[in-house]
Structure 1
């Protein structure tokens, strides 16, 4: 591996945990969880999230071992280059960069739309521009400042989810009156009438959305090169993050599935708002609007961080112009940050001007990209384990995780919303591969 410069190792375990939360806990949980409920039904939704939790746990076990052995900024792209092939690492890096730059556009647009709840006469682009400036400032001051901002952003979301789960449990055990809830008879009715409203197959189709909802946990691997004492901090951060995420996601889904009939699950209506309003929390809509805007800024903050580090890593590996691999005096990749924000601005424009065509395709590609990244982590660890049997995680773990990821990819064929990912994602990978061989033609493995 070429080495232009090194990052400051200023992130602590709490920063890593909340960085991962920032990437994972977003509109997928606060808004579109209602859509999953509508498609799979209450029991199907809980099952989908349990399977998704198992998958992400297995993938992160593999990533944790790789990050401890090679604590470099850029993470799994470098592992794929070393343990699979440099061309695969190149494709993985670009897919992951695309995932986050597409997400930036959607998050900035959504911030503008949500702000119009209070100021309907102000154009969306004004609020989006303010959000862009804020996120850019957070990322260019220092890594420590970015991590602190992300810590408090994510804390808001975590508090909202904990409050939601506690209040939901209070309703379920009868401490709070809730219109339409009749105790155990309601629970039995929700889970059995019908058990799977759209058939058992819908559970597997919603797994795609669930996998995407869990994406972001791999940010711990991206930040390994900026972490204090990575061998000690990374395993603890992964364990702590995963268990909290599993409790948050599955706990939230159990509460939602019991307290909201599946036919009310709509993609544009937050189940959080519905339940808070029914419990009688004053200003529930406004409170959740603030929480969701915070979640969007947090996800954009994490997204710009991840995208810029991936570009820096490509430049550092000699697979992108070295100009992007330069760090400033504060040890920040300013050029990579600005380039990644430019990608976010382009996706922002596509979400405004061609929302029904290009943007839908980009989002579906982003969903596929996450699964591809996870699959590359599995293969990388499998190969690393063969070379170095001393690695702690058993070789069956990456095999099981890879199979679950592959099932998700197969499921895309049968989901009209996800199918464009295959039609455009595969040609994107082919073009990236051809460009790699035309431009670099590197056959040797990357040395870490």
Structure 2
């Protein structure tokens, strides 16, 4: 039955009144912030003035001194000075294509060579289903607490343990911090595919200036550029899938029609069970960044509508862009092809280019290389956004220098952004003979941070649900409820622990090699760094207790959008009733999107 207009009207009017009131209040704040800036001042004057600090009348002295570390962190990070400029289209495109990069285009080749086609599909299926559950849990938390600085990193401090929150936040920050110089160097290496004679540092400088300029435009500049990059990557992946299906079905110009031959010769598994285990870390690396949606919540316009929709679309990215494209590759590229051993950002070693060449189609590797270059620049752009926001959250919670909490009138965390960009100058060692060694160790420092992050997102969700129940609330009070529920979060915890265990085994005893301390720490140093941060926090705070935040006193209110709960429940009820009244295809679409 369709909902009558007289039911929706009063709610819509109430909502419009509230939004208009908030807009008027926001305008008053804006004009008060402007101070002595004249409204008719020129663009340049307004631009310069935007770098002035955003005034705030809130300080730490207004908090009760008897608060625990977890409660104090919750209150501090809920004070959000950021601008909400991310729209639905921004979030959807960033969610679908934002983290598609060299992990998919290049890294999957080494996984295919090491593990074999069946191992690749097993690893990505387990990691993908785990990530689907993780993002569902994250979507519930981010929709409930959309105004918390630092995003999902602060959930661990609030719902599990401040020491674990400190460790996962610093590790996640390091993960993105090292990616800026790494991706800038990779971009200069990718350009070499076209045999350019330009010095690599010249390309690094060009791309570095591009990243700086984009981030001067704040969250909107980042979002528009990332949307454009994501759209191009999506078009490329969809085009490859269509072409790949044609090639697999026997439509190749050279008549290629191997069927499932490569599953028998050279075989479904290249190195047995250990080969399967070795592909897990590659699958995690290729899917890293999917959780990024939780970091954008603080700057999202109307998070109640946009966050749930973006959360659901993760399923399509995992299914379509990863599982379908990887399945096609396993039918077109043999795991014993020596080119798969290549580790550089080069289209010649991309399994996507190799699959196309197998069908007798030439010329497309240059297109693949262009897509790889776009992917690299997209990750470099995202690294500045992510690092600066995590640093801002760390500073707001008292876990990093206070100067990093500086936010200007345009809502840009300029101090944190400056630190990120200064670190990015390391990219100018692109011409150095030691560049590989330097970046191998930089990357190993935070190499496992994504797995720690996913594990603690799931565990934070479990703890949050426990607190919700202990404090007399239920899921009906939430704006979005995880489709996989607490069971999905326990599954996420289990798979992430499994990845840690198998990675330890393969790192300590590599396939076909003797145990090597250096290679072990290249793969597992991030694990050591995480626990060093954890125990370092314990020493710094002189807190040697190892208990979780009690669910009875857990803060499950700070950072939530102020709204009428009964009005929200009625609005959600009417939305569900409307969806139930629609045809099956519409209901299916709304469930997944």
- Per the TM superposition, whether the score is higher than 0.5 is yes
Mapping 1:238-387, distance limit 5 Å? 238-264=311-337, 265-268=340-343, 269-346=349-426, 349=429, 352=432, 354-355=434-435, 357-387=437-467
What is residue 429 of structure 1 aligned with on the other side? 530
Equivalent pair of 1:40/1:202 in contact (CA under 8 Å):
yes
What is residue 134 of structure 1 aligned with on the other side? 210
CA RMSD, 1 decimal: 2.4
2:306 matches 1:205: no
Q: 1:189 aligns with which of 261, 267, 274?
A: 261
Cα distance in 2 for residues equivalent to 1:441 and 1:353: 44
Q: Deviation of residue 277 (structure 1)?
A: 3.4
Listed as ranges, the gaps of 5+ residues in structure 2 are 1-74, 344-348, 476-480, 511-518, 560-593
Note closer, same or farther for the CA distance 1:280–1:191 as it changes in structure 2 (3 Å cut).
Answer: closer
Note closer, same or farther for the CA distance 1:431–1:317 as it changes in structure 2 (3 Å cut).
Answer: same
2:495 matches 1:404: yes
Equivalent pair of 1:19/1:302 in contact (CA under 8 Å):
no
What is residue 18 of structure 1 aligned with on the other side? 93
Q: Deviation of residue 4 (structure 1)?
A: 5.9
Q: Deviation of residue 143 (structure 1)?
A: 1.1
Cα distance in 2 for residues equivalent to 1:400 and 1:431: 27
What is residue 145 of structure 2 aligned with on the other side? 70
- Aligned to 1:248, the other structure's residue is in SS state helix
Q: Deviation of residue 82 (structure 1)?
A: 0.2
Equivalent pair of 2:80/2:298 in contact (CA under 8 Å):
no
- Cα deviation per residue 1:193-219 (whole Å; 9 max; x = unaligned)? 322121033112201110111111111
Note closer, same or farther for the CA distance 1:140–1:66 as it changes in structure 2 (3 Å cut).
Answer: same
Cα distance in 2 for residues equivalent to 1:136 and 1:14: 24
Cα distance in 2 for residues equivalent to 1:205 and 1:330: 45
Select between 54-63 and 40-49 the one with higher mean Cα deviation.
Answer: 40-49
What is residue 148 of structure 1 aligned with on the other side? 224
Select between 156-165 and 239-248 the one with higher mean Cα deviation.
Answer: 239-248
Equivalent pair of 1:350/1:358 in contact (CA under 8 Å):
no
Cα distance in 1 for residues equivalent to 2:412 and 2:420: 14
Select between 119-128 and 394-403 the one with higher mean Cα deviation.
Answer: 119-128
Cα distance in 1 for residues equivalent to 2:433 and 2:388: 25
Select between 32-41 and 358-367 the one with higher mean Cα deviation.
Answer: 358-367
Equivalent pair of 2:80/2:149 in contact (CA under 8 Å):
no
Note closer, same or farther for the CA distance 1:429–1:366 as it changes in structure 2 (3 Å cut).
Answer: closer
What is residue 42 of structure 1 aligned with on the other side? 117
Cα distance in 2 for residues equivalent to 1:410 and 1:350: 35
Equivalent pair of 1:84/1:383 in contact (CA under 8 Å):
yes
Q: Deviation of residue 343 (structure 1)?
A: 3.0
Equivalent pair of 2:104/2:322 in contact (CA under 8 Å):
yes
- Runs of at least 4 residues off by over 6 Å: 442-446
2:132 matches 1:60: no
Equivalent pair of 1:139/1:146 in contact (CA under 8 Å):
yes
Cα distance in 2 for residues equivalent to 1:307 and 1:122: 30
- Cα deviation per residue 1:88-138 (whole Å; 9 max; x = unaligned)? 111111100111122222211111111123353222121112111111211
Note closer, same or farther for the CA distance 1:283–1:101 as it changes in structure 2 (3 Å cut).
Answer: same
Q: 2:157 aligns with which of 66, 81, 84?
A: 81
Equivalent pair of 1:20/1:216 in contact (CA under 8 Å):
no
Listed as ranges, the gaps of 5+ residues in structure 1 are none
What is residue 245 of structure 2 aligned with on the other side? 169
Equivalent pair of 2:201/2:431 in contact (CA under 8 Å):
no
Q: Deviation of residue 335 (structure 1)?
A: 1.2
Equivalent pair of 2:149/2:396 in contact (CA under 8 Å):
no
What is residue 68 of structure 2 aligned with on the other side? none
Select between 18-27 and 414-423 the one with higher mean Cα deviation.
Answer: 414-423
What is residue 100 of structure 1 aligned with on the other side? 176
Cα distance in 1 for residues equivalent to 2:321 and 2:383: 21
- Aligned to 1:74, the other structure's residue is in SS state coil
- Cα deviation per residue 1:24-53 (whole Å; 9 max; x = unaligned)? 211111112111111111122122211121
Larger radius of gyration: 2
